[in-house]
Amino acid sequence: MAEKQKVLIVDDDPHIAELISLYLTKECYETKIAGDGEEALKVFGEFEPNIIMLDLMLPGIDGYQVCREVRARSQTPIIMLSAKGEIFDKVLGLELGADDYIIKPFDAKELVARVKAVLRRYHLPQVAAAAKTEQQGDCVEYPDLVVNLTNYSVTYQGEPVEMPPKELELLYFLAKSPNQVFTREQLLDHIWGYDYVGDTRTVDVHVKRIREKIKDNSHWALATVWGIGYKFEARK
């Protein structure tokens, strides 16, 4: 019998937290509730969830800070919950490392679908890597940069660089087709899949994170093509 996936629900409104727990329990997830940020960080280490449903407006340590601290030690998927639907808030959440953003009030079926989609996207790279251990060729190399999709590793200037699966996949996809321009929509379809419910700003956020970890050099660059999208520019 397969082990249940565990969901940590972080919300200071007990009614909303219990409602989310009810929805997910019906879908055979194991849930645990934390009512504030401090409790969430404590429970996170003990419960070891597969995914976190994280409200932003929490007493004490807010959701943004919880996200930062979780990301500092884990790539566990995070779905942010908020009544704030402005683009700024969504982008900030994604920049801090959230995998999705749901605006309150939410539909029960949509919430469950988002949880399933995020977990599916998170686990696919691990499954793919395991299936490809005997294969060769899933690696692109440039001066000072090696992106290996087989074991999901990036080496920059001879040193390993930690990258979440989606950042690595995006970098690999661009690097394996040097000088080819891709629109944000194309990149969403290729990397996140046609069922992804986010918007094209997700691509921008991930490119920004990649650029913070690896810097362009005289041989290559992760270039913005204004008004269109991105390309991995290979220079002679």
Instruction: Find, among 213, 23, 77, the residue nearest to 222 by Cα.
Output: 213
Stretch 228-234: mean pLDDT = 93
pLDDT of residue 135: 43
Highest mean pLDDT pick, 3-7, 71-75, 85-89, 220-224: 220-224
Written as one string, the DSSP assignment of the chain is -PPPPEEEEE-S-HHHHHHHHHHHHHTT-EEEEESSHHHHHHHHHHH--SEEEEES--SSS-HHHHHHHHHHH----EEEEES---HHHHHHHHHTT-SEEEESS--HHHHHHHHHHHHHHHHHHHHHHHHTTT----EEEETTEEEETTTTEEEETTEEE---HHHHHHHHHHHTSTT--EEHHHHIIIII-TT--S-THHHHHHHHHHHHHS---SSEEEEEETTTEEEEEE--
Among 130, 155, 177, which residue terminates a domain? 130
125/145 same-domain check:
no
Tell me which amino acid residue 207 is: V
Task: Kindly report, residue by residue over 101-156, the tens digit of the pLDDT.
Answer: 888 888 988 899 989 888 887 765 544 444 443 444 589 999 999 999 888 899 99
20/41 same-domain check:
yes
23/123 same-domain check:
yes
90/151 same-domain check:
no
Residue, of 171 and 75, whose pLDDT is higher: 171
| Domain encompassing residue 197 | 134-234
114/164 same-domain check:
no
Query: Over the chain, what is the mean pLDDT?
Result: 86
pLDDT of residue 156: 94
Instruction: Find, among 148, 205, 151, 202, the residue nearest to 172 by Cα.
Output: 148
126/153 same-domain check:
no
**Can you tell me the distance from the alpha carbon of 135 to that of 125, in angstroms, rounded to the nearest whole number?**
15
Does 204 fall in a domain?
Answer: yes
Among 77, 96, 130, which residue terminates a domain? 130
Split at pLDDT 50, 70, 90, the class of 195 is low
Indicate which CATH number applies to the domain containing 146.
1.10.10.10
Work out the percent of the chain whose per-residue pLDDT is above 90: 53
**Contact by Cβ (8 Å): 67, 44:** no
Stretch 161-171: mean pLDDT = 90
pLDDT of residue 50: 93
121/168 same-domain check:
no
**Contact by Cβ (8 Å): 105, 35:** no
125/185 same-domain check:
no
Does 1 fall in a domain?
Answer: no
108/204 same-domain check:
no
139/61 same-domain check:
no
Does 197 fall in a domain?
Answer: yes
Indicate which CATH number applies to the domain containing 65.
3.40.50.2300
Among 130, 163, 191, which residue terminates a domain? 130
88/186 same-domain check:
no
Task: Kindly report, residue by residue over 15-50, the tens digit of the pLDDT.
Answer: 999 999 999 999 999 999 999 999 999 999 899 999
Provide the whole-model pTM: 0.60
73/38 same-domain check:
yes
Does 34 fall in a domain?
Answer: yes
Does 190 fall in a domain?
Answer: yes
Q: How many domains does the chain have?
A: 2
Tell me which amino acid residue 204 is: D
Does 88 fall in a domain?
Answer: yes
